[in-house]
A and B are shown apart, each in its own frame.
Chain A
Amino acid sequence: MAQRKYPLADKLDREALLKMYRQLVLIRRFEERCAQQYSLQKIAGFCHLYIGQEAVAVGVEAAMRPDDYLVTAYRDHGQILARGTPAGPVMAELFGKATGVAKGKGGSMHLYDIPRHMYGGWGIVGAQIPLALGMAYASKYREEDRVTVCLFGEAAVNQGAFHEALNMAALWKVPAVFICENNRYGMGTPIKVSSAVTEVYKRAAAYDIPGEYCDGMDTLDTYEVVHKAVERARAGEGPTLIEARTYRFRGHSMSDPAVYRTREEVEEERKNDPIPKLRSYLIAKKHAKEKELDTIHEEVEVEVEESIRFADESPWPDPSELYTDVYVDPIWPEKVHA
């Protein structure tokens, strides 16, 4: 197999690359422990794990500026961790605790960290795409040089919201990058069953914007493609549609045993695991020794363990929180239910 070229990533310094590796390992380990905590009924409701897709969130984050805006769907644990939110408040949110990133009112599908420009965390397929359009529109309106990156699954591109938002994004050249995380299954439905055009990036032609694809199992390839699109948007040249070809190693959510995929298919995809892939690169480029990378795994293990302890020991939201945050003006709900 020919060695893949990374003209942009090759210029990244050791620190940036090790940060990416740490993020991959953190997301993986966080999600594995989430699955376990779900089985222990510490986490309830719908819980969509990111295992297998980590390269997308990490590659995207590396391609963005910290003050760029990110918005995604309900499979959002990986993105908020990549943005740099500490694992503790994220795990606490999944536990529904008062110390969670949304004070326990959002849960797994609704994770926010506004100071870190993570804007959720949205539960309706494709609904965050018009929202991203509005976010990018606001940047253009205010003449900010910030870019909005919007993530969504491949099933979302069959929603009207996708079409309407991309049309206007292209029409008004807003600074947005639309990234489809194509994990090939909309819940249990393979893309070839749901979509007339299975190569999602080709849909960009309908809006006369660039359509690109990247290997969403490869952190550095994702970084390369997204970085170009982000800088293009920042330069005022308009939006790009990117198809990140990825794969989730687990079911759609914790309640999905994923019997619609063959064991062979999953085993084959596991060979593309993004973590060993970046590890090989770091070793080959002499950015790190095996032992240093092992240390990262050990540190992450402690960090995730600590996040579970934090979530466990945190209090439930106070009953008085039931009627707060419905409106900005707190008089109204309190008045009604007094």
Chain B
Amino acid sequence: MAIQGLLEIKEGSKRSQHSLRFIEEKYQAILNSINNLDFLDTFLGELENSEDIEKMSRLFLIEVQKIIETKTCALFLVNKETHEFVLQEITPHSFKSLCQKEIKYQIKSGVFSWVLNHKRPAVLPSLVLAKRKPDNNALILCPLWTARQILGMLLVMTPIEGHSLAQYSLNLLSIITRHFAISLETLLLYQDLKGQNQLLKLTKKQLEESQAQIRNHNKFLKQKIAERTGELRTKKWLTEAKACPRRAFPTRPPCVTRRRIVS
């Protein structure tokens, strides 16, 4: 009986330990989530403070490297005029031509446009990088998009085997890429607005100058008209004097006012 009781206590203690471990794991997961939120908050703050695309891009790639161990990390942005994906930032620089080639091949294979439409990070086999650098295992392509437009593509080459990448790494990557895309769009809109504002200021200044010129010209014209009117009035008076020499003429010429002519 006593042994039975002891066995039950032992079993109960085992179950409690298991539950405790489960709670600890969940607690740790909550702490990690809070850390991630902090990390995102800091990242957003830094993005807000940067005023040019170069600085933002550099910051973004640094954050990407904090999330996933990378061999190379490249950011391609869409050129507004040509609609091409142009390399904006890469780390390290030695991978520049390889990454450009990789993107070119991915575009040719149709995978690139598939990832863009899919709007989520995709782990893919590399077409160029893995052949040149066999220790690079997985290629991650992550599109930069907002509700209004596609802004670019992030390319990450990681030494970790693609299938072993943890879900949270990909989720976090997706979240910060989305934040970056929104911040980038805001910056582009801000720059566009700033440019338009400057243009507006310039136009306003030109308009003011033109108005001043018109005012001066009007003043000049008024003066001319006054002079001409005086001349004409004198001429008229003289002509009338010549035509009727015996008539009694007013001693003075008529005065021209704004409202009416008073004789």
Binding partners A and B:
no
Where the two chains meet, the residues of A that have a C-beta atom closer than 8 Å to any C-beta of B are none
Q: Residues of B at under 8 Å CB distance from A?
A: none
